[in-house]
Amino acid sequence: MLLTFPSDVRVWNVAETPATVPLDGGTQHFLSVFSVHESRPIFTLGKEDFSLSHNQKGLMAVNAPDPLPAFEEHNFTLTITPSSPRFVTCYIKLGGDNNTQIPVANELRRKLTVKSSGKQFYLLLRQPSSSSSDLLLLSHEDGDGGAVVALSLLLAIAVLGLIGVLFYIWTLKVFCLEVRLFRLRPNV
């Protein structure tokens, strides 16, 4: 599932089905992984796979046994630079000295495939969108994006209804208090 927000952040909910993240022609892509569970995201760029793990040194792009801790945002950057007419080099920058590079065929650099090794997580892509008029875009290959929109609208209506009920109760209490004060007032 893909959500696009006005702040140019796109979010994918990655679970059993791999997600395809389109990368524009830019040279830098700012990504984050967040989960409420320990997770092991696996990325494919071109024909190369890499996974993220966490150890004492921090975030690593290697096949290590340590999953990413829960309830933390794990940030990394993909920087793509030309290395030959047919290939580019993708630098996976993880902060500090933790950088990895992979060669990618130029025609395969426009999409990043992300899959889960069991636990659900969210992938955030921060980059300027081509159309700032898109306030909310939902798409999913198996078609449950409409359910997410309907559920979001239902939640918004429920919150507005709750606010209305609370305002009505408050107004009723104020009115009852005014009536009591009026009755207790001495007649002159």
Q: Examine residue 174 and state whether it is found in any structural domain, yes or no.
A: yes
CA dist 85 and 87 (Å) reads 6
As a whole number, mean pLDDT of residues 97-106 equals 79
152 and 130 housed in the same domain? no
Q: Is residue 112 part of a domain?
A: yes
- The verdict on 42 and 115 lying in the same domain is yes
SS3 of the chain: the string is CEEECCCCEEEEEECCCCEEEECCCCCEEEEEEECCCCECCEEEECCEEEECEEECCEEECCCCCCCECCCCCEEEEEEEEECCCCEEEEEEECCCCCEEEEEEEHHHCCEEEEECCCCCEEEEEECCCCCCCCCCCEECCCCCHHHHHHHHHHHHHHHHHHHHHHHHHHHHHHHHHHHHHHHHCCCC
Q: Are 106 and 182 in a shared domain?
A: no
Q: Are residues 129 and 148 in the same domain?
A: no
For the chain, give the percent of residues with pLDDT over 90.
Answer: 7
Q: Is residue 73 part of a domain?
A: yes
Burial 38-62 (b: 16+ CB within 10 A, else e): ebbbbbbbbeeebbbbbeeeebbbe
pLDDT at position 100, please?
81
As for how many domains the chain has, the answer is 2
Q: Is the pLDDT at 120 greater than 80, yes or no?
A: yes
For 154-175, how does the pLDDT look when each residue is reduced to its tens digit (9 = 90+)? 888 888 989 999 999 999 999 9
- CATH number (domain holding residue 75): 2.60.120
Are 78 and 155 members of one domain? no
CA–CA distance from 42 to each of 55, 117, 185 (Å)?
A: 17, 7, 74
pLDDT for residue 73? 87
Per-residue pLDDT, 163: 92
164: containing domain: 144-188
* pLDDT (mean) for 45-54: 83
149/75 same-domain check? no
The chain-wide mean pLDDT, for the chain, equals 78
Residues 6 and 72 in one domain: yes
User: Does 93 share its domain with 177?
Assistant: no
Is residue 139 included in any domain, yes or no? no
Q: Is residue 101 located within the same domain as residue 44? A: yes
Q: What is the pLDDT of residues 62-99, one digit of tens each?
A: 666 678 888 888 888 888 888 888 888 888 888 767 77
Residues 88 and 179 grouped into a single domain: no
Task: Indicate if 81 and 109 belong to the same structural domain.
Answer: yes
Of 63-67, 109-113, 117-121, 150-154, the one with minimum mean pLDDT is 63-67
pLDDT at position 25 over 50: yes
Q: Quick one: average pLDDT of 111-115?
A: 89
Same domain, residue pair 122 and 164: no
Q: Is residue 95 part of a domain?
A: yes
